Structures are given as C-alpha cells and as structure tokens.
Chain A
Amino acid sequence: MIDAEERFRTLYDAHRLAVFSYFARRFGAESASDLAAEVFTVAWRRIGDVPAGDAALLWLYGAARNVGSHHRRRLSRSTRLRLRVASMAPLAVSDEPDASAIRTDELRRVRQAAARLRESDQEILRLAAWEELPHVQIAQLLDVSVAAVDQRIHRAKKRLATEFQRVMSSQTRSGGGDGS
C-alpha cells in the first residue's frame, strides 16, 4: 500500500498540470480541477495498471479522454452550446489594429474555425497541437495505426484551413468591414 501510495504521489506530482490542462482546454478551468481529480481517482484505483515512466502520461490521457467524453455527455445541450459560443466570442474590432491585436484576432478566429469542426477532428488537432503528442502516441491513445493518425491529422488540418478561411471571410463581410 505504501508503494502504491508513493507511486500515486509521484504520478500525480508529475502529471497533474498536464491533466488539468487537458480539461481546461476543452471544458474551461472551472470544471478542469474536478475532471482532473476524476482522472487521478481512476489512477489511484488502478495504480497497478498505470505503466511506468513516460507511458504513464499517455495512460492518464487515455483516462482523461474517457472522463472527458463522459463529462461531455453529462453536459446539457445548453451548456455545450455555451461552451461553443464561448469559443466563438465576437471579435473586438479595433480601428487601428497593431500587430499584436491582429495576432490575437487570428488566434481567436482559428479557435472559432476549430470549433466548427467535428469533435474527432478537433480532438486530434488538440492532441497534436496543444498536448504536443507525437503521432505515435496519438496512435496509441486512439488505438489506431500511425498511418491513420497521419492521415486524420492531415485531413483535419485541411478542414481547419477551410473553416479558417470561412471564418475570415465572414468576419470581413459582416463585422470588421474596414475592407483592408
């Protein structure tokens, strides 16, 4: 029991932030703590199953995916909508945009574009871009081949670019309108 506890503490210590971040990115910081704690609850109860070393984080991400999809189902329609809308917050149109404001706008728009993709596309892009997982690990996590991951990411990127283009042009038409 001591060993298990020690292992758990080490695990928690090393990966708490990564797991928290995983949820904060997807559901916001408010529920991230609870969800992260759910993952570590599972980890505690299955501490014997948690692989040693670097694979542990991947295991935790696997648990996080399950907890996350559970959570998503638990959310009411309205909450999901709210999350979605939050990711599509309207752009602040500045008269004299400086470089950093433009950058901020772009980041917002790319998130907006991503929010329009189907969930599986979003997730694989997030795993690659935000969790910075290499394709090999994403493949393990999703239980598909590396080639499939390569292809899915490739397609998701293209769809993201398309949506991004759409967001950009719709914003120019309806919102900003300085026509530059």
Chain B
Amino acid sequence: MRDADEVFGLFREADPMWTASDPEHQPSDPSPIIAAASDATERPPLQPSGATGQPPRAWRGPLIAAGTFVAVVVAVGLGSWLFGSSGTGSPIASDELSLPATTHADAGITLPTSETTGPQTANSDLVVVPELVGLTVFQARAKVEEAGMTLVVPPNLTGDAVVATQDPVAGLEAASGSSVAVEWESAATTTMPDDRGDTWVAPDPPDGWASGLSIGFVPDGFVYEESEGHETATFHVFVSTDGARRFGVGRQWSPPPYPFVGDEIDRDGRTFTVIPDEVRVLEEVGGRVRIEVVSSSLDAETLMRIAVGVTYDPARDLPFSDDG
C-alpha cells in the first residue's frame, strides 16, 4: 500500500514527455520538437518555479525566425476556413495548395535540424541530395523531405521565391537527416505587416458572440467579398485578379463548435467534410473562387503563401473563455 505522496512521486515520473522507455505512451507521431529535445538535452528546460528561463540553445537559430511565422500560421489556420472543392478542376486546386502529408507535421512549429549541416552521428545513412534549383518553397521542401533531409525555410520568404543555389549540390551524397542550405531568388522579404494593400477589418460579430480572428491587410490584386453568414462563421472570399494566387479566408466567430477534421458541415444544401491539410477550390464563378472548409492545421507552405498577404488585427482576440 502506497501513501499519497509516494503515488504522487510516481505520477511525477510518469510525465509522458520524459518516459521514453514506455513506448505505448509515446506520441504516435513524435514531433520534431520531441526528437530535438531528446537529442539536445536530457530534460528540456521547463523553468520550474520561475527559474531563469534559459532557452534551449541547441535549436535557437532557425527557430527564432520560425516564431514570427507561427503567429501568422495559426491565426490563419484557426480562424480561416478555406472552402475546398469537390473537384471542379480549378487550376489552383490541389497542385498549388494542397500538400503532401509528410509536410504537415511541420505545421505550426518548424524545427529543422538545421544547425547540423554536416552528417549526423545518430543516423549515418547516406542519401542523394535532390536537385532544387528553380523550385518553389513548396516543391523544394517536398523534395528534400522525400530524400530524408531537411530544408530550412526563412519565415519571411514570399510564396513565389525559388531556389537559386543549393549546398550541397544535387547528386552528392549526404547524411540522412542533414539539411540542405539554399539561397532564394526573388525572395522579397516581407515581415508581418507592411504597407501593401488595404487594411480591412472584419465587421463586428453579433451581440453575445466573441470575436474570432479578423483579417487585416488585403494584398495587392485582391479584393474581398463577404459571403453569406453561417451558423458559426462568416466567410469571406478573396479573389485574385492575377489568377495566380487565390484563397479564401474566413472569419470565425464563437461560440464553438469549431469544425475539426471529420466533421460534416452543411452549407448551401451540400455537405462538406472537414479534411486535414488540404485546400481545395470548390468552384469558380465568374472569376471568383469559393473554397470550402479545411482543418485548422494548415502546413507551413500553404500558410506562407497566405501569410504574405494576411495579417491580423491585434485589437481583436481569440475568445478567452473560462475553463469549462
């Protein structure tokens, strides 16, 4: 018979983050963070009792940049529902916006093992470096990951940037898990808000509804049109005039339920299923595009495209609700 403190001591040890010897409780899809953590430190800094808050140095570099991006990433992911297509063959349907599942783990927090450009001792398998020059961020990332390597993408890269040079060059062998350093061309670096486009602030929600995300800052060449309301959200469609980049960004209102993967949503007399990591165009009508629901877990590349043009009105918040 154990006393309460003993059991509590056991519970302390049972922290799923650190009980690596217990495979059944390991997350089935370990995030890069966990991998990095176990490589870098025995027990990552959790700053108990308000200690000094020393950041994990080992992965500092690339992540600083990622941090800024994350803000945009999730804000879009959460608040926006992109209306996906049942396959009317739109030009930007899958190939431009939907991404291979392999990249989805990168979605909010990208943790490339970038500081190790050289071979890693942990995994000495050799892979052939793919050809990347001329590829977009999305294409390059997919290729690199397919090869079992990592690609470091600066967070402020524009969606139309392409690889100018790469190191190591294509055809060489490199250690699996190592990273490819690339330089980007036409990568006009944009930070979050800049002076392009008009700022647009979503209208106030009905009484008693908390504000969800709002959209500011419509990029050049985009106009928006408010579509009809919905039980829990209002959708706005952004239409590109250049035909190249179009996407819908919705503003979501509380109260929940937010849609999540697997949910079915009735809209316009049709039923849509919320799907993960996929952005599809529903239909194009007179040069406009309607895009229907995706999950909140958009991947970094898709969001990078969106993030170029969309930022958030800091005056509006996610609903901060009480614990239920």
Contacts and interface: CB of A to CB of B under 8 A. Distances in A.
B22 A104 contact: yes
A33 to B, nearest CB: 4
Contacts of B28: 28-30
B109 to A, nearest CB: 5
A152 to B, nearest CB: 13
B7 interface: yes
Contact of B25 (A73, A76, A111): A111
A170 B179 CA distance: 50
Interface residues of B, number: 80
Given A37-B73, A41-B71, A16 B63 contact: yes
- Which of B8, B31, B49 has most chain A Cβ within 10 Å? B8
Contacts of A65: 323
Interface stretch (B40-48, B89-97, B241-249): B40-48
A178 interface: no
B285 interface: no
B121 interface: no
Nearest to B17: A21
A24 interface: yes
Contacts of A18: 45-47
Given A29-B30, A74-B257, A157-B8, A16 B46 contact: no
A107 interface: yes
Nearest to B259: A74
Contacts of A37: 70-71, 73-74, 77, 107-109
B64 A131 contact: no
Given A34-B108, A54-B52, 15 more contacts: A5-B192, A9-B67, A16-B67, A17-B37, A17-B46, A28-B28, A38-B78, A40-B74, A57-B50, A70-B321, A74-B256, A107-B13, A110-B7, A134-B48, A164-B7
Interface of A: 1, 5, 8-10, 12-18, 20-21, 24-25, 28-30, 32-34, 36-38, 40-46, 53-58, 63, 65-67, 69-70, 72-76, 86-87, 89, 100, 104, 106-108, 110-111, 113-114, 125, 129-134, 137, 154, 157-158, 160-161, 164-165
Interface of B: 1-8, 10-17, 19, 21-22, 24-25, 27-31, 33-34, 37, 44-56, 60, 63-64, 67-68, 70-71, 73-75, 77-78, 105, 107-109, 191-193, 256-258, 260, 262-263, 296-297, 312, 314, 316-324
